[in-house]
């Protein structure tokens, strides 16, 4: 079944233990990534999107760590059978997860300048990545690197391969980062805010490139963003996160045309529209995301929610449950609290 999940995250909890207290960056997130599809994870800054991606690859910096949950990666063995590996149980420094990083699951960072070493050419850095995961000669790796640079639209790749990161524009650096991520033919590509630091024209080019590569290779893509426009353009399925939890999930058309959770509705109302009255103010979400050390009781969104139910939402925490056939939401407007 082509749409079977290649990655399943269940009740993931990633906490940071600081002197000031415990920061619950991801607090029980659950979702699935179908094979060959694009899943968008959306939410405001501080909602746990990036920490979720780092958790999948087991590269959370100390004092953070996964404290609960499963990250099941579906794999096929040589005999054609499939098994599942729980990435959450692997040693973050062990050989098995190191082989998966870049090999089976690749990550495109938000700002590639901080991801490349300024002391080595882009070619050397991609060649090193290829040779780390594949048993090929340096000459073969160099030829593969030139092919990758050409595939992602780098002009004159035979020359660019010997340039340093600071010699490239932001858009070209992002293309090189995508080439490096694709160098070992990953089954899953995680793109964390891949267009935030780019101008509008370059953003569109990068998104078109990602879509073209996804269609060509049939790899699964997780795109992390705060931009609902990017989600509408790229995603098949959408995960809406707030304060470390998934508050709504479903197919992209259902999320945009029939949003259920008040937070999703508020995010969509804040998108500029060509049909809006000139000089009219955009609707905003009241308040801001609570400080990590001062999480609200009950539903995490209730202090900012215009539809909160007094005596219920501030006391009980809703669970993520189905609404209809394809959507899920974590809201007492649709579910009774657990007894």
Q: What is the pLDDT of residues 221-243, one digit of tens each?
A: 999 998 888 899 999 999 999 99
Residue pair 29/48 in contact by the 8 Å Cβ criterion: yes
Task: Tally the residues of the chain.
Answer: 339
Between 115 and 14, the more confident residue is 14
The pTM score is 0.90
Please state, for a pLDDT cut of 70, what percent of the chain lies above it. Answer: 96
Residue 290 confidence (pLDDT): 86
DSSP string, 304-336: G-TT--TTTTTT-PPP-EEETTTEEE--TTTSP
Rounded to an integer, the average pLDDT of 6-35 is 94
Residue 112 binned pLDDT confidence (cut-offs 50, 70, 90)? low
Residue 174 confidence (pLDDT): 87
Rounded to an integer, the average pLDDT of 172-181 is 90
pLDDT over 70 (residue 189)? yes
Residue 1 confidence (pLDDT): 40
Beta strand pairing status for 64-76 and 5-18? antiparallel
CB burial string 134-172: b at 16+ within 10 A, e below: eeeeeeebbebbbebbebbbbeebeebbebbbeebeebb
Q: What is the pLDDT of residues 117-151, one digit of tens each?
A: 889 999 999 999 999 888 899 999 999 999 999 98
Q: What is the pLDDT of residues 251-288, one digit of tens each?
A: 999 999 999 999 999 999 887 776 667 777 777 888 88
Mean pLDDT of the chain: 89
């Amino acid at each position: 079944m082509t749409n079977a999940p290649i990655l399943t995250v269940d009740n993931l909890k990633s906490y940071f233990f600081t002197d000031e207290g415990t920061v619950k960056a991801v607090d029980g997130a659950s979702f699935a990534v179908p094979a060959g599809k694009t899943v968008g994870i959306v939410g405001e800054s501080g909602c746990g999107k990036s920490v979720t991606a780092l958790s999948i690859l087991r590269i959370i910096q100390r004092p953070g760590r996964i404290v609960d949950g499963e990250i099941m990666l579906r794999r096929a063995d040589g005999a054609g059978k499939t098994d599942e590996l729980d990435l959450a149980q692997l040693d973050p420094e062990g050989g098995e997860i190191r082989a998966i990083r870049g090999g089976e699951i690749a990550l495109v960072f938000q700002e590639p300048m901080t991801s490349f070493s300024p002391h080595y050419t882009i070619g050397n850095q991609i060649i090193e990545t290829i040779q780390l995961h594949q048993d090929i000669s340096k000459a073969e790796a160099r030829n593969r690197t030139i092919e990758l640079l050409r595939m992602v639209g780098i002009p004159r790749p035979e020359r660019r391969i010997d340039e340093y990161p600071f010699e490239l524009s932001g858009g070209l650096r992002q293309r090189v980062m995508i080439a490096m991520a694709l160098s070992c033919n990953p089954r899953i590509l995680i793109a964390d805010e891949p267009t935030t630091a780019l101008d509008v024209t370059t953003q569109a080019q990068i998104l078109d490139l990602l879509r073209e590569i996804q269609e060509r290779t049939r790899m699964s893509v997780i795109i992390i963003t705060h931009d609902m426009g990017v989600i509408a353009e790229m995603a098949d399925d959408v995960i809406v996160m707030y304060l470390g939890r998934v508050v709504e999930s479903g197919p992209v058309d259902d999320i945009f045309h029939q949003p259920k959770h008040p937070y999703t509705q508020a995010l969509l109302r804040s998108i500029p529209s060509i049909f809006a009255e000139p000089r009219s103010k955009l609707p905003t979400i009241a308040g801001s995301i609570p400080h990590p050390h001062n999480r609200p009781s009950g539903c995490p969104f209730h202090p900012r929610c215009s539809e909160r139910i007094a005596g219920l939402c501030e006391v009980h925490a809703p669970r993520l449950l189905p609404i209809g056939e394809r959507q899920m939401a974590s809201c007492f407007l649709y579910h009774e609290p657990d007894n």
